[in-house]
Structure 1
Amino acid sequence: MDNKGYISKRKKGTSLYEELHKEALEILQKLSGEVWTDYNEHDPGVTLLENISYAITEVAHKAKLPIQDLLHSSKGEVLTSGDNGFFVASDILTTSPITFNDYRKLWIDLIPNVKNVWIYPVDDYEQELQNLKGLLHVFVEKYNYHSDPEKEVAENENIKAQITNIYHENRNLCEDLYGIEIFKPLSLAMQFRIVLTNEIDGEEALANILHTVNNFLAPEINYHSLDQLRKEGLSTNEIFNGPSLENGFIKDESLKDPLEVINLSDIIKVISKIKGVVNINYFSLSYINPETKKEQVIEENFKVPKNMTARAAFPSNNTNIIFENSEVSFHPNLTQTKKQLSFIQALDASKFKAASNSQNQIAIPEGKVQDINYHYPIRKQLPELYGVGDRGISASASPLRQAQAKQLKAYLLPFDQLIINFLAQLSNIYKLYDVHGNLDTSYFTNSLPDIQEILELIEPQDANFSIEETKRYWDIVTNDLNGFFDNKASQRLNKVADQLLVRYNESFQTYSLLKINTTSYQGVISEQVFKEYLLAVKQEFIRAYGGISYNRAKSFNYKIEETDFTLENYAEIPGVFKKIALLTGISELSYISVTEIIEELGILIHPQSIELDIIIQEIEIDTPELHIEIEEVSVVVEDDNTKENLFEAVHFVGKEYTVLNHVLKHGINADNYSIKRNREEDLYYILHRGETEKSTIVHISERREEAIEVVKKVIDFLLIVNQKSETFFVLEHTMLLPSFSEDYFGFELDLAELDSDLDLVLVHPNQKSLKARDKNIDDLIEGMLNNIVLYSVESITGAYRLSIRNERGEVLAISKNDSLTEFPLRNSIEKLKKSIVNFEKETIEEIVKCFVFYGTIPVDETFFSFRMSLMMPSWSVRFQNENFRKFFENTVYEELPIHIRSDLFWLSFNDVQIFESYYFKWLELLKIKNPDTAIQEEINEYAYELITIVQKLNAEA
């Protein structure tokens, strides 16, 4: 809007009031033009129209109040993140670490004395080896290193522990931490002769040189405030992209790679730019060689030894530190220099704190509390002459005039009630969008502000109500009327939830889930009830969306230190699995034993000859009335062996592996039950028809009412069992690996895949650690290609085998199959030498098979790389539905990261029981810190059992 220096005059007819008034007059003229010809302001009809138009204008004004005012007024208190599905930027835009840089930022931010961190994948992606993927090797650079070896070791172990804990709290799916190494310091000694200006002293200059050189060798990680990044032009999405940090924001470009080569000229160039330095007449840099332990002078450049960080050491003496000033040479005072250096470092620290203590959150707009419900009745706005205001009508007025005044009040009452109801809707907007409430209505009403003055108009005819009773009566009338129009509240509330979900580009496949519910539950759970259930699930999804979004790539923390690994704490479940569960209508996801839940609910599965029984113990549950006709018969045949038990419990009989599935599917339908009365014994027999037309006796009651009540309880109980059976287990194959540093790893190289004439398979001579095995493979391939390995045929007990050694005599590979004579092996050596030179290194790497050994049993390493298996119990009615299975599987594939292969398996009760027996014990053992050899072997045993289960399921699929 242009600032003209004055307020522009509003054009006539542009206000809402004028528009309403004009439009209403036009309507009046059309409807009553023949009987009402005067439309001036003194006309009562026009006066009424003006006041109603004004009242509507006031309502429109309130409807246009800022949303923060409406929500704050509606809630009655300050808004917080997550209210109505609105989250602050730090809650909804940040994520748990996904990239290597994300992890680096988090570790640098949270761990004291960690200056920088680097992450490298253990698998070299430039190689073609089919070995493990998703393992991270972490290298750490510290700010300060202790001169005391014991303190240094203790601090390093503490840093490693913190890195490990933070990693497992934020670990990505199907990834694991391979190892952590702390960079060792490499002290560089400086000698120089430097000319300074008159404005700077030698102590300050030396402190600046040490600080600047060290910042060049190992750059400081800079933090930034929200305000700084905004001024640089970064968008909110860019600023909050990544993990939530405690000390501000770190840019990706600040996370530089470690310095590998030091050029002397670069150091000199850095020093020359320091304030006060005029000329560098002489400069020398030296270090103590880690291998020879001798001093070595850097001539032009220097390659920093692996896993070391170069530091300019504070000089032990000033003999070779010379400054010149006005042709006067002098040595700086090292004590003063140390003070100056501390001051410079303190300044940097203060800058860091300034960034970390700044306001780095985007605040929620503060709303003003407005009296939205207030409404001044229309009748009180009319002139006193009308007799409907606060003064009322004169007592001396004729009965006709008094009646007319009452008629006008009654005429205006619906207008006021409608406006009050609209304002009630507006003032309840927070409740309407509140995902934390249990709202069952979408329309709202309120009491008239002047109700006490018009009681005679609203009290029932011939009723002798008190004032309070009349008010309550009118509230009932308006609420009933509101309920009549609000008969589709659930549908509208679902639309509200869908509108909230759209903001995050999320949606529920409501129609598909409704159809699946109908076919699965056979009408036992009505469509309306399921819609209400879905509404609650949607609201839970919106309520948890901040955490789901932040943790969408995060996996389980298997290192949590609770007494047992039950994960009943919903917060511990990764975001992606919460999301999958909610999108598929599973609202009570937990990672506890589902077979134990079944048993705790009172279901016992036990053998009875060839068949099995399910025993459902009686429970007290209120249920709706059932209409079951009771047929009287003279004889009922039952099994004498179970007759006594049938008085105490309910028995269902079925096939061993499917009995639970059939009972949950057919037992929830009342049409499958029948009750027969035996007149001779006066007993009531409850019969159930399962998947076949044949009915079996499941219970015997002594009274008719008791028999009907048992059927009710059984149906409701089975509905609970169905709901509590809906869960799934996640098995990340990476976590099944043994210790990477122990000798569990080997390989196989079938040379026939290179050349069909080479009938030779090479394998590892013995199992090694992961790192040693990979180096062994690399040495073998390089050695064969460059013909620097030694081939030999060795005699073993009753046979011969081929052996390949490096130049140091270490065995790199042996033949997998022994030979009765040495000739075939020598022939293979000659063929190998001739043909191997025709292949590229990458070609050979592609046919190498890497294995993890559990005892003597090998498992292909591709089994562990970015793979997971999901185990679902098959017995709940929805989980038995083929359409639901497809729906669930599609949801899993859509939500999980694309690089992860996921296999889904639907298991019977017995299979789940077997799986859980290994799964939960394995999880318990994983929590143990620094497990000894015996514990590690036990972990490996359970891991291998789980691997076997998955392999068997894959083979059967």
Structure 2
Amino acid sequence: MSEINKHITIPKEVNSGNDLDYQFLKEKGLEYIEKLAGNIWTDYNSHDPGITTLEMLCYAITDIGARISLPIEDILAPADGAKSTENQFFNALQILPSKPVTENDYRKLFIDIDGVKNCWLSKYEKTVYVDCKNDLLSYNPNDFNTVDDELRRDFQLNGLYKLKVDFDELDDSEFPYKADKDAEITRIKELIFSRYHENRNLCEDLIDVAEVETHAIEVCASIEVETETDEELVHAKVLRAIDNYFSPSLKFYSLQQMLDKGYSTDHIFEGPALSNGFIDEEELENAQLRTEVRLSDLMQLIMKIEGVKVIKDISINDCLDAENKNDAWLICVRPGMKPKRCDSSAFSYYKDVLPLNVNSKKVKGYIQQLDIDEAEKQSLAKIGMELEVPKGSFRDVGETTTIQNDFPETYGIGDVGLPSRATEARKAQAKQLKGYLLFFDQVFATYFAHLDKVKDLLSVDTRLAKTYFTQAVKDLEDFADLVTDYPLSDDEALTQNLLSELDDNITRKNELLDHLIARFAEKFSRYSFLMKEIYGSYADEAIINAKEVFLSEYGEIKNTDGSANNNGISNWRGSAFNYFERAPEEIWNTENVAGAQKRIARLSGIRNFKRRNLSPSFIETYKLTNSEGKEVFRWHVKNNDGVYFLSSTEEYNTRAFAEDELYQTVVKIVETRPETIEKGFAEGVADEKEVGNFEIQVSPTGKYSFDVINTNAHPNSTDRIIARQFLYYETSEELKAAILEMIEFFTQEFIEEGMFIVEHILLRPDVTSEAGLQNQFMPVCTKQCTSCEPIDPYSYRVTVVLPGWTHRFRNMDFRKFMEELIRKELPAHVLARICWIGERDKLVPDEENEMIQFEKAYQEFLLAKTNSGQEQDETKLKNLIAILTELNTIYPTGRLIDCDDDADLLGGKIVLGRTNIGNL
């Protein structure tokens, strides 16, 4: 078998147990001693001090093994009993359910609504007719009657649905009038629409919710009951059994009931999370609209009812078919309708030959009581829907103690120490042994400290800056005589002293995060590579931040009240945004976006995934005429208050060169860690002192300022100082605060990136209209019906709009990565058109800036749509379609050079025949 086809698996059980085997450890130790010192050490008996030391170390190792072998819930248990291990993991309801995907998923979602007994989702049929001669679309086939048949086509809009609902019977005591019942049905329909749009799939929409029509069936039966039976109760049960057969009621089950049925947890939690319990998938599948009514089925149901002795006579008839009133064994139900007992149904009861009079009022009371009993049982299903995280007992696995106190007292290194008559030489020997053993004590203390931090290092929400830990050995006599510069009361300082040079925390943190991400079958490898190309040394920190955010948001995030906000990167990856009756703040400047949009943002390190205006910018590049009469470019950066607080120091021949230098400045700023600034200022401030990528300037009057520098440039080069803040500070503390504020601004608030996902299905003309609406369709290209397939511009299509001017989005390698990521993360059946467009605000007139025009048209369209539902604002729809049609991808400017030039000079250049400049 070839190597490539071999399956590589990681064994689940890798623990040998040797760490708990004292005898094994001792024998292994002796083997090493024989190899290392066999020529000078031959006495391996227990009385030998070296063997005693070996035995003590083996015992300490078994202590580590015993702690590692504790139940995982005990290892992860926090010291504070009020806290829980739940915060270290996503619970089952956060990570296992998903947004609705299948028809049954949506049925579960709607059946979970009080008042909905059952429902059935089906495709909404809407035909669009095509005039291939003039490239026109219409809902009305008569619009193209003058066009030859071979130049006419049609297609069905896909992704549109209608819902048929079987509502619960409304109690006459609560809703005595028809108007009241109609109002309640309307309320439930609105709730269904709202629930659907909260869980809408990308490129899909719900058009109609209607009550299922009924097919009346007449049931007549003559039934003999047992002598001691309550005939009214029997009749109530017979009616309920027949009605449930005609239109089954679905039951909700508790988590324990589902487990008792034999379902695994991943099966139980599959699909949307419900509020009333769990629905058995098999029962849901069987609860379809009945296509036929069989007399034999009704007979079996009635005979199963307690108290029924025999069915003397029974018949069924089709009440809708007036010409066929003969008795039948089987009645076919009309498609899309549910069977229902008609008013002509009749039942008679006997005890032996004695006919019985059934009290209808008493029967109604029994039915109500049976319904109440069933509702009480159903209410229990919602109790305990979450899998409980095992509660561990805090074992203090990080506790450490010296092994020296376990040595025989004759060694004089324990609590008792040496006798007062001991010689100075003997005391010195004891101290020497104590110092020697302290090394092992510290190793064990470090292991225990790491074991204590496992719950933080492998948590999905870790914020630890370090990855190596240790702790002080505190229960050792005469510690001060053994070592200096050992902070007994400050474990963080001790960790810094002992392990700081070993702790490459950026690399190790990335490895830990990669491990956690790999558990979800995700990866950041290509993203990491590209970030290092673009951002240099800052990339590692940016990658860590992106991974931490990605992990913390992977499952469904809980709101402060404990409810889920339906925003998980994993389980909402195929969802669309909710446009149904939203407030303006939920349409624009909002996190109410498609699940794929958030997921793409997190996988690509886009910090702000909100739907918002992207054209406004902190950056201004401007043109001026220099002293030589030549047009040149410079740039400013302003902060959140609109104050210019960073400017260029050079003049640039092109805007592109100016922006390249600007973004190099941003990279240099974010490369400098705040710790570097704190340390540099703690050492003292002087004129022209370099602190990270900043150079301090002190004026003759004693005022402070700073420049941003390129430390890779020659000290005397004009490329060394790349930006300057033309502000002055009275003290060095004010200067330090300004530099730290600038670093924080560029790492946290300087955000230019974002994206829009426009679903074409939302741009459809009103499908409920009988008019053709030719002038509201998107343009199509048919080429006389010979090409451009499929013609349909709406079904499962999106346009993804991104700002083409930002630092990373100007990079063609990163664009290629983004385009591949977008196509990979969108559902497989969704086709994307990707456009990198526009300029930042104020660079060109607004009417020439495609991004500004698009943002305005899209915002107005969405605000109109959320208020109108299916109906479209014709003007706003046309405006958006027009700008979408005209979007053009922009590419960075570059300098063409000869392909035979030195390869080292090709970086960032456009080479004819070699450079892939992207695609649409």
TM-score band by shorter chain is 0.7 to 0.9
Asked if the contact 2:647–2:725 (Cα under 8 Å) also holds between the matched residues in 1, the reply is: no
Is 2:557 aligned against 1:557?
no
Asked if the contact 2:579–2:865 (Cα under 8 Å) also holds between the matched residues in 1, the reply is: yes
Q: Residues 400 and 282 from structure 1, CA distance in 2 versus in 1: closer, same or farther, beyond 3 angstroms?
A: closer
The equivalences for 1:89-168 within 5 A come to: 89-109=92-112, 111-123=113-125, 129-145=154-170, 148-168=177-197
Structure 1 position 133, deviation (Å) = 0.7
Q: Residues 700 and 61 from structure 1, CA distance in 2 versus in 1: closer, same or farther, beyond 3 angstroms?
A: closer
Structure 1 position 867, deviation (Å) = 0.3
Aligned to 1:921: 860
Q: Residues 36 and 899 from structure 1, CA distance in 2 versus in 1: closer, same or farther, beyond 3 angstroms?
A: closer
- Pick the aligned partner of 1:61 from 41, 44, 66: 66
- Pick the aligned partner of 1:908 from 823, 838, 845: 838
Q: Secondary structure at the match of 2:611?
A: coil
Asked if the contact 1:664–1:876 (Cα under 8 Å) also holds between the matched residues in 2, the reply is: no
- Pick the aligned partner of 1:428 from 450, 453, 464: 453
Q: Secondary structure at the match of 2:521?
A: coil
- Pick the aligned partner of 1:526 from 515, 531, 536: 536
Task: Give me the whole-angstrom Cα distance separating, in 2, the residues matched to 1:475 and 1:880.
Answer: 43
Task: Give me the whole-angstrom Cα distance separating, in 1, the residues matched to 2:423 and 2:347.
Answer: 116
Task: Give me the whole-angstrom Cα distance separating, in 2, the residues matched to 1:731 and 1:610.
Answer: 43
Q: Secondary structure at the match of 1:532?
A: helix
The equivalences for 1:310-349 within 5 A come to: 310-312=339-341, 321-349=347-375
Q: Residues 861 and 93 from structure 1, CA distance in 2 versus in 1: closer, same or farther, beyond 3 angstroms?
A: same
Aligned to 1:587: 607
Matched positions, count: 776
Q: Residues 513 and 76 from structure 1, CA distance in 2 versus in 1: closer, same or farther, beyond 3 angstroms?
A: farther
Paired letter, 1:404: Q
- Pick the aligned partner of 1:238 from 267, 285, 297: 267
Is 2:435 aligned against 1:410?
yes
Q: Residues 201 and 737 from structure 1, CA distance in 2 versus in 1: closer, same or farther, beyond 3 angstroms?
A: same
Task: Give me the whole-angstrom Cα distance separating, in 2, the residues matched to 1:178 and 1:286.
Answer: 32
Structure 1 position 40, deviation (Å) = 2.4
Aligned to 2:512: 496
Task: Give me the whole-angstrom Cα distance separating, in 1, the residues matched to 2:833 and 2:57.
Answer: 66
Which has more helix, going by share of residues? 1
Asked if the contact 2:800–2:834 (Cα under 8 Å) also holds between the matched residues in 1, the reply is: yes
The equivalences for 1:645-794 within 5 A come to: 664-665=662-663, 724-743=751-770, 745=772
Structure 1 position 443, deviation (Å) = 0.9
Query: What is the percentage of aligned positions where both structures have the same residue?
Result: 28
Q: What are the superposed Cα offsets for residues 835-871 of structure 1, whole Å, 9 maximum, x if unpaired? A: xxxxxxxxxxx97999xxxxxxxx9971111000111
Asked if the contact 1:654–1:662 (Cα under 8 Å) also holds between the matched residues in 2, the reply is: no
Asked if the contact 2:758–2:799 (Cα under 8 Å) also holds between the matched residues in 1, the reply is: yes
Is 2:481 aligned against 1:479?
no
Q: Secondary structure at the match of 1:878?
A: coil
Asked if the contact 1:69–1:369 (Cα under 8 Å) also holds between the matched residues in 2, the reply is: yes
Task: Give me the whole-angstrom Cα distance separating, in 2, the residues matched to 1:673 and 1:536.
Answer: 24
Aligned to 2:809: 879
Is 2:535 aligned against 1:506?
no
- Pick the aligned partner of 2:313 from 272, 281, 287: 281
Q: Residues 99 and 699 from structure 1, CA distance in 2 versus in 1: closer, same or farther, beyond 3 angstroms?
A: closer
Paired letter, 1:915: F
Task: Give me the whole-angstrom Cα distance separating, in 1, the residues matched to 2:794 and 2:582.
Answer: 25
Task: Give me the whole-angstrom Cα distance separating, in 1, the residues matched to 2:318 and 2:854.
Answer: 61
Structure 1 position 400, deviation (Å) = 1.1
Aligned to 2:554: 545
Q: Secondary structure at the match of 1:578?
A: helix
Asked if the contact 2:708–2:724 (Cα under 8 Å) also holds between the matched residues in 1, the reply is: no
Asked if the contact 1:619–1:713 (Cα under 8 Å) also holds between the matched residues in 2, the reply is: no
Task: Give me the whole-angstrom Cα distance separating, in 1, the residues matched to 2:582 and 2:100.
Answer: 22
Is 2:464 aligned against 1:459?
no
Task: Give me the whole-angstrom Cα distance separating, in 1, the residues matched to 2:723 and 2:61.
Answer: 67
Q: Secondary structure at the match of 2:161?
A: strand
Asked if the contact 1:264–1:299 (Cα under 8 Å) also holds between the matched residues in 2, the reply is: no
Structure 1 portions without partners, runs of 5+? 1-11, 461-468, 622-644, 675-683, 748-766, 770-845, 851-858
Paired letter, 2:575: K
Task: Give me the whole-angstrom Cα distance separating, in 2, the residues matched to 1:212 and 1:455.
Answer: 86
Task: Give me the whole-angstrom Cα distance separating, in 1, the residues matched to 2:801 and 2:107.
Answer: 34
Q: What are the superposed Cα offsets for residues 352-379 of structure 1, whole Å, 9 maximum, x if unpaired? A: 223333x332221222211212233121
Q: Residues 453 and 569 from structure 1, CA distance in 2 versus in 1: closer, same or farther, beyond 3 angstroms?
A: farther
Task: Give me the whole-angstrom Cα distance separating, in 1, the residues matched to 2:888 and 2:189.
Answer: 35
Task: Give me the whole-angstrom Cα distance separating, in 2, the residues matched to 1:647 and 1:223.
Answer: 61
Q: Secondary structure at the match of 1:210?
A: helix
Asked if the contact 1:581–1:587 (Cα under 8 Å) also holds between the matched residues in 2, the reply is: yes
Q: Secondary structure at the match of 2:517?
A: helix
Q: Residues 475 and 743 from structure 1, CA distance in 2 versus in 1: closer, same or farther, beyond 3 angstroms?
A: closer
Structure 1 position 734, deviation (Å) = 0.9
Q: Residues 419 and 703 from structure 1, CA distance in 2 versus in 1: closer, same or farther, beyond 3 angstroms?
A: closer
Q: What are the superposed Cα offsets for residues 158-201 of structure 1, whole Å, 9 maximum, x if unpaired? A: 11110111111100000011111123556656544333332434
Asked if the contact 1:207–1:341 (Cα under 8 Å) also holds between the matched residues in 2, the reply is: yes
Asked if the contact 1:132–1:861 (Cα under 8 Å) also holds between the matched residues in 2, the reply is: no
Structure 1 position 713, deviation (Å) = 12
Q: Residues 610 and 287 from structure 1, CA distance in 2 versus in 1: closer, same or farther, beyond 3 angstroms?
A: farther
Q: Residues 548 and 950 from structure 1, CA distance in 2 versus in 1: closer, same or farther, beyond 3 angstroms?
A: same
TM-score by length of 2: 0.74
Structure 1 position 67, deviation (Å) = 2.0
Q: What are the superposed Cα offsets for residues 52-91 of structure 1, whole Å, 9 maximum, x if unpaired? A: 22112112211222222111147876445462xx433332
Aligned to 2:46: 41
Structure 1 position 746, deviation (Å) = 6.3
- Pick the aligned partner of 1:888 from 801, 804, 818: 818
Asked if the contact 1:565–1:924 (Cα under 8 Å) also holds between the matched residues in 2, the reply is: no
Task: Give me the whole-angstrom Cα distance separating, in 1, the residues matched to 2:490 and 2:124.
Answer: 76
Q: Secondary structure at the match of 2:401?
A: coil
The equivalences for 1:192-341 within 5 A come to: 192-255=221-284, 256-263=287-294, 266-268=297-299, 270-275=301-306, 276-281=308-313, 283=315, 285=317, 287=319, 299-300=327-328, 304=333, 309-312=338-341, 321-341=347-367
Asked if the contact 1:490–1:532 (Cα under 8 Å) also holds between the matched residues in 2, the reply is: yes
Task: Give me the whole-angstrom Cα distance separating, in 1, the residues matched to 2:368 and 2:786.
Answer: 56
Structure 1 position 423, deviation (Å) = 0.5
Aligned to 1:516: 530
Task: Give me the whole-angstrom Cα distance separating, in 1, the residues matched to 2:393 and 2:646.
Answer: 64
> Which of the two has higher C-alpha Rg?
1
Task: Give me the whole-angstrom Cα distance separating, in 1, the residues matched to 2:212 and 2:830.
Answer: 32
Task: Give me the whole-angstrom Cα distance separating, in 2, the residues matched to 1:952 and 1:477.
Answer: 56
Task: Give me the whole-angstrom Cα distance separating, in 2, the residues matched to 1:475 and 1:699.
Answer: 37
Q: Residues 618 and 555 from structure 1, CA distance in 2 versus in 1: closer, same or farther, beyond 3 angstroms?
A: closer
Structure 1 position 721, deviation (Å) = 10
Paired letter, 1:180: V
Q: Residues 437 and 518 from structure 1, CA distance in 2 versus in 1: closer, same or farther, beyond 3 angstroms?
A: closer
Q: Residues 605 and 219 from structure 1, CA distance in 2 versus in 1: closer, same or farther, beyond 3 angstroms?
A: farther
Q: Secondary structure at the match of 1:880?
A: coil
Structure 1 position 247, deviation (Å) = 1.9
TM-score by length of 1: 0.71
Structure 1 position 535, deviation (Å) = 1.4
